Amino acid sequence: MNANSHISSEKLALFYTQLEKNKKLQGPLMPTLHDAQHIFGHIPLKIQKIISQELGESISKINGVVTFYGNFSLTPKGKKTIGVCLGTACYVRGSQTILDTIEDELKIKDGQTTKDGEYTLQSTRCIGACGLAPVFSVGDKIVGNANISKAKEILKEMREHIK
């Protein structure tokens, strides 16, 4: 899949409209990156170059911000994001095996998106539910006291729901 395939002229026009609004703000970079992520579903190099030209920021600074913050992505994300917490409490209670199971089930690695564009898998450092460790999230839903069979069951339900 071409990384620029999701950049339609309509989306570009909307982005430029938002960019003009953001230019009037003090510190326009973060709002512009949030808009780009929302409009395109990711922030590819082509969009980073536009931001660089329009805001007078270096590509390296923009790319550094995009790669530092987990809510920004260089590649398109799936319709659903599955986040597996690898923070200390979750890790010591077996979250790595849950991540490994989900990778096997979806046939992708951490940070990748399934070929059908349905799911993105990403490890996280903490999602703030340590008392329920180990945890993973599916979109906005937190799954606590997780284990391999619970992960497989939820994935099966998700797959049946999209058929």
pLDDT tens column, 46-55 = 999 999 999 9
Output DSSP code: residue 60.
Answer: H
The answer on 114 and 94 residing in a single domain is yes
CA-based R_g, the chain, Å: 18
The answer on 96 and 57 residing in a single domain is no
Q: What is the number of structural domains in the chain?
A: 2
Cβ neighbours, 10 Å, residue 162: 10
Share of the chain above pLDDT 90, in %: 78
pLDDT at 79 (0 to 100):
87
User: Omega of the bond prior to 76 within 30 degrees of 0, cis?
Assistant: no
Specify if 20 maps to a domain: yes
Specify if 75 maps to a domain: no
Judge whether 116 and 159 are in contact, CB under 8 Å: no
The answer on 60 and 85 residing in a single domain is no
The answer on 116 and 58 residing in a single domain is no
Judge whether 47 and 7 are in contact, CB under 8 Å: yes
Confidence band (pLDDT; 50, 70, 90) for 127? confident
pLDDT at 1 (0 to 100):
41
Average pLDDT score over the chain:
92
Specify if 103 maps to a domain: yes
* Phi, psi (rounded to 5 degrees) for 33: -65, -40
pLDDT at 3 (0 to 100):
43
pLDDT at 139 (0 to 100):
86
Q: SS3 for 22?
A: helix
The answer on 89 and 64 residing in a single domain is no
Confidence band (pLDDT; 50, 70, 90) for 163? low
pLDDT tens column, 1-39 = 444 455 899 999 999 999 999 999 999 999 999 999 989
- CB-facing half-sphere around the CA of 23: CA atoms within 13 A: 14
The answer on 85 and 55 residing in a single domain is no
pTM of the complete model: 0.68
Specify if 1 maps to a domain: no
Q: Which residues constitute the domain of residue 52?
A: 9-68
Q: Is the pLDDT of residue 154 over 50?
A: yes
pLDDT tens column, 82-94 = 999 999 999 999 9
Q: Quick one: average pLDDT of 55-74?
A: 91
pLDDT at 77 (0 to 100):
85
Alpha helices in 82-147 (DSSP H): 88-92, 95-106
Judge whether 154 and 119 are in contact, CB under 8 Å: no
What is the C-alpha to C-alpha distance for residues 111 and 26, in angstroms, rounded to an integer?
Answer: 33
Positions of E strands within the chain = 80-85, 119-124, 136-138, 141-143
